[in-house]
Structure 1
Amino acid sequence: MDQTKRQPRKLGWRFALLALALAVAISGLIRSLWLDVYYIPSESMEPLFGTGDRILVSRTDFNSEPIRRGDAVVFDGRGTFAPLNSGNGPALDAVSAAGHWLGITGSETTYIKRVIGLPGDHVTCCDADHRLTVNGHPLAEPYLYHGDAPSQQNFSVIVPAGRLWLLGDHRAKSADSRSLLGAPGGGMVPVDRVIGRPVQIIWPLDRFGPVHRPPAADTTTKDGQ
C-alpha cells in the first residue's frame, strides 16, 4: 500500500525534473541561436543603457544587414578587451558564468559598446571643433552622454580589415578602444567576435522598450562632406 502511494510521487518528481531540463535545453538553444540576455554592469553606455539594465540581444540582426557605424554591439572581448583568463579560479568562474547566463550579473568577457570605426576607417580625435573624425569627416554623435567630450584622449587610428573601433556613449566613464591603444591588437575587436545587437530593454519595467537602430544614412555632419 505504501509503495503504491510513493510511486506517483516519484513519477511526479521525475516529470518535473525532465520538464525543467527540457526548458533549460530549449532556452539554451534559443539563446545560442536567436536571442540572448545581457546585464549592463556599468555607466559606460549611458544614457542609452543604465547600470543594472537587462537587455535582449539579437544574434541574427547582422545576418541580414552588415554592422554599420553607430550600431551598439554586444561582443566577446576575450583577447582584446578582456584577458583570456579572469584568474578567479574554476569555482568563481562557474558562478560568474551562471549569473551571466541568468542575466543577473555582468560578464568579465562580454561587453557592449558603440561602433565608431569600420574596417579601413581612419578615426581621429579631434578636429578644431573637438569632434571625432572618420575618414576626414566630423562625426555627428547624438547618442553621446550630455556634457561629455567626444574624447579627452587624442588618437589617430586606421582600423584593420576584419576589425572594429568601439567606444562607450558615456566617454568619461568608458574603458574602450582608446584604453587599449598600446596593447596587442590596439583595442580593435574582430568582427567575428560580435555576439549581436541589443533590441529590447526588459528590466527595469519603467524602462521597458525597444532599442532602435540608428538610421542607415551616413553619420557625418553635412559640413564635413
Structure 2
Amino acid sequence: MRDMERDEDGHGRAGRALSGLAVAVGCVLFLGSFAWAAFLYRPFTVPTDSMAPTIGIGDRVLAQRIAGGEVRRGDVVVFEDRVWGNDPMIKRVVGIGGDKVECCDRQGRLTVNGVAVEEPYLHTPGQASPSGFSATVPPDRLFLLGDHRITSVDSRTHMTDGGQGTVPRDAVRARVDAKAWPLSGWGMIQRPGAFDALPGGTSRPGPLPLIVTCAVVGAVLILGGAAYGPLARRLAGRGKAAVPHG
C-alpha cells in the first residue's frame, strides 16, 4: 500500500510539474504573440467604400508596419500624403517607379508596361476604370487605385497635381494584411497574382497567421495546464474510494 501511495505521489508531482510548465509556456506564447502583434501591426478603420469589395466601409483592418521600399504592385497600403489631405488613406498599388500605367485596353483592363492585368478584386469586374488615363510613374513613387473604381478618389483624380498623381514611397506607413472586423469577414487579404508577370512580383503575407497560431496554442496550454490540478484531484479521489480497506 505504501509503495502504491509513493507511486501516486511521484506521478502527482510529475503531473504538477508538467502542468506548471504548460501554463508557463502557454503564458509566454499567449502574451508574446500579443506583444509581437502590437510591435508589427496597426489597426485602422476604413471610412469609405473605395476599396470595396476587398474592404468595406467601417471594416477594421490590421496593417503591418513596413518601409516604403518594401512595397510591391498589388499591395494594399496605408499612406499619408500632404497633397491628398494628410489623412491616413488605404489604396492598392498598381504601379511603381518607371511603370507606364494605362487604361483601358479593348477588354476594359488596366495595363502596366503594356501587360494587361486581370483584377478579380474589382467592385465591377471587367471595368478597370470608367474613364481612360495614362501615367508614367516617376522614380521612388507609387500609383494607387481603389478597388471600387467608380467611387474611389485616387491617383486618377490627382494627376493634375503633379507627379502623375503618384505619392512618394516614404508616404507609406503600413501594408494591410487582414480584416479583423466584422468577424464574419475576418481573414487575410489575399495577395493578387495579377502582377506576377511583372518584374518584382508581389509581396509575401506578413507573420499574422503565425502570431494567431501562437496565441491559440498558448491559450490551449494555459487552460489545459490549469485544468490538470482539479482533474487529477478528482480522479485521485475516485481511485481512493475504489480501494477496499481490509
**Aligning the two structures, in what range does the TM-score lie when normalised by the shorter sequence?**
0.5 to 0.7
Aligned counterpart in structure 2 of residue 81 of structure 1, from 81, 84, 95: 84
Partner secondary structure for residue 172 of structure 1: coil
* 1:149 alignment counterpart: 127
CA root-mean-square deviation:
2.6
Partner secondary structure for residue 200 of structure 1: strand
Q: Using the TM superposition, give the Cα deviation of residue 147 of structure 1 relative to its aligned residue in structure 2, in angstroms.
A: 4.6
Residue identity over aligned pairs, in percent, reads 41
Gaps of 5+ in 1: 1-26, 85-108, 221-225
Alignment partners' CA distance in 1, 2:117 and 2:62: 28
Q: How does 1:203-218 map to 2 (within 5 A)?
A: 203-215=181-193, 217-218=196-197
Alignment partners' CA distance in 1, 2:144 and 2:42: 21
* 1:97 alignment counterpart: none
Alignment partners' CA distance in 2, 1:132 and 1:214: 14
Aligned residues between the structures: 165
2:64 touches 2:175 (CA, 8 Å); kept in 1? yes
Q: Which has the larger radius of gyration?
A: 2
Gaps of 5+ in 2: 1-33, 200-246
Which residue type is aligned with residue 160 of structure 1?
P
Q: How does 1:13-162 map to 2 (within 5 A)?
A: 33-60=39-66, 66-76=70-80, 78-82=81-85, 109-147=87-125, 149-162=127-140
4+ residue runs over 6 A deviation? none
Alignment partners' CA distance in 2, 1:148 and 1:41: 25
Q: Using the TM superposition, give the Cα deviation of residue 217 of structure 1 relative to its aligned residue in structure 2, in angstroms.
A: 2.3
Alignment partners' CA distance in 2, 1:132 and 1:41: 26
Aligned counterpart in structure 1 of residue 179 of structure 2, from 176, 201, 214: 201
Which residue type is aligned with residue 80 of structure 1?
V
Q: 199-208 or 173-182, which moves further after superposition?
A: 199-208
2:137 touches 2:163 (CA, 8 Å); kept in 1? no
Query: CA offsets, 1:126-176, max 9 Å, x none?
Result: 222221111111111111113562112221111000100000001011010
Partner secondary structure for residue 156 of structure 1: strand
1:123 touches 1:133 (CA, 8 Å); kept in 2? yes
Partner secondary structure for residue 199 of structure 1: strand
Which residue type is aligned with residue 190 of structure 1?
P
Q: Using the TM superposition, give the Cα deviation of residue 46 of structure 1 relative to its aligned residue in structure 2, in angstroms.
A: 0.8
Which residue type is aligned with residue 73 of structure 1?
V
Q: Using the TM superposition, give the Cα deviation of residue 214 of structure 1 relative to its aligned residue in structure 2, in angstroms.
A: 2.8
Alignment partners' CA distance in 2, 1:54 and 1:187: 27
Q: Using the TM superposition, give the Cα deviation of residue 219 of structure 1 relative to its aligned residue in structure 2, in angstroms.
A: 6.1
Provide closer, same or farther for how the CA distance between residues 218 and 146 of structure 1 changes in structure 2, counting only shifts above 3 A: same
Alignment partners' CA distance in 2, 1:130 and 1:147: 9
Q: Using the TM superposition, give the Cα deviation of residue 120 of structure 1 relative to its aligned residue in structure 2, in angstroms.
A: 0.2
Alignment partners' CA distance in 2, 1:153 and 1:147: 15
TM-score (norm 1): 0.66
Which residue type is aligned with residue 194 of structure 1?
V
Query: CA offsets, 1:54-108, max 9 Å, x none?
Result: 0111004x68x832211111111x32321x5xxxxxxxxxxxxxxxxxxxxxxxx
